[in-house]
Amino acid sequence: MKPIDLATLLVMGALWGGSYLFIRVGVPELGPLPLMGGRVVLAALILWLGLRAMGRRPVIRPHLRPLLIIGLSNAALPFTLIAWAELRLGASLAAVLGATVPLFGAVLSAVWLGERLTAMRISGLATGLIGVLVLTGWSPVPLDAPTILAIGATLLASFSYAGSGVYVRRALRGIPAGTLALGQQLGAAAWLVIPALFLLPEARPSSTALGAMAALAALSTALAFVLFFRMIERVGPTQTQTVTYITPAFGMLWGTLFLDEPITRGMLAGFGLVLMGMLLVNGALRTGSIRSMKMPPGRSVRAQVG
């Protein structure tokens, strides 16, 4: 991987890690549904303008049904679950819990795609599960009922991301990346806009909250997807997908720098175990090189975002 590609990968991780920061800033004032509704509408507008500027005309109508499905499973539902969870959880903790997507993906690929669960994959899943237990049991917030529900919502969001990846692999092969990126945001908007309009905040949101929503849409959604698909064209999907392993680290970093959230021993230990589980699931420890790592199931055309 060339230095420019490595730099792009780090920028992608920073942008997707930043999504947890922007959500944590914007959700208390805007609420989960209005924040996510604004996110996908603005991101869709930016992507459409970008594609038009490049002379591309995405064809949405023939793929309307599958795009509505991934708009729900890969955007509307997980976005909203994470935003709701961050009313209770810090950005750092939510980011680390979001690292469980490849673990769920391995299980769903075995169930739906018939991929074999080897002993190494099973040990990776067990290690990742232990990591989640360490992370939540040693978390910086008290484990009361609201916190447990918030943790469960974040894990459900990861499950939804993973399920969407498997669906994309089965039903959306051959669709141009630009069409898929824009169509996903439009599909998410179809699910979110009307409920969001009924739940608009009574008080006028501050410029900080509105700025967080704009940054979430422009940086962590539209720009991050543009870089993601560009990296796929340059270095291929397998090396591009290593962004999954650095996004949570940036999530913790931004939470510490901008929100004064502590990075606890439990978070580091839990993240380390989850990371080891992901490497085992994807075969990286067997080969001794992340470069030769297998592609996580169903992630050739999309990536996890917060």
pLDDT for 242: 66
As to burial, measured by CB atoms within 10 angstroms (0-12 exposed, 13-18 middle, 19+ buried), residue 176 is: middle
As to burial, measured by CB atoms within 10 angstroms (0-12 exposed, 13-18 middle, 19+ buried), residue 211 is: middle
What are the CA-CA distances from residue 205 to residues 32, 86, 196, 211 (Å)?
13, 18, 14, 10
Residue among 231, 189, 204, 175 at smallest CA distance from 68 = 189
- Cβ–Cβ < 8 Å for 255, 21: yes
> Who contacts 189 (Cβ-Cβ below 8 Å, separation ≥6)?
37, 40, 41, 44, 71
pLDDT along the chain (306 residues), means of 10: 83 93 97 97 94 84 90 94 95 88 81 80 85 76 88 94 79 75 93 96 94 96 81 64 79 92 85 84 57 40 52
Residue among 69, 54, 47, 80 at smallest CA distance from 196 = 80
The CA distance from 257 to 216, in Å, is 18
Cα dihedral across residues 188, 191, 194, 200: positive or negative: negative
* Predicted model pTM: 0.85
Rounded to 10 degrees, what is the CA torsion of 166, 97, 271, 129?
-70
* Matching residue, tokens 């993240």: 271
| DSSP-H helix ranges across 86-201 | 91-97, 101-112, 119-137, 145-171, 177-198
The CA distance from 182 to 168, in Å, is 15
- Cβ–Cβ < 8 Å for 187, 70: yes
DSSP tag of 140 = S
pLDDT for 301: 41
* Matching residue, tokens 């940086």: 219
pLDDT for 175: 75
| Residue 199: HSE in the Cβ half-sphere, 13 Å Cα cutoff | 17
pLDDT one-digit tens code per residue, 54-64: 888 888 888 88
- CA 305 centroid distance within chain: 2
- Cβ–Cβ < 8 Å for 99, 157: no
Buried b (16+ CB within 10 A) or exposed e, 137-169: eebeeeeeeebeebbebbbbbbbbbbbbbbbbb
Length of the chain: 306
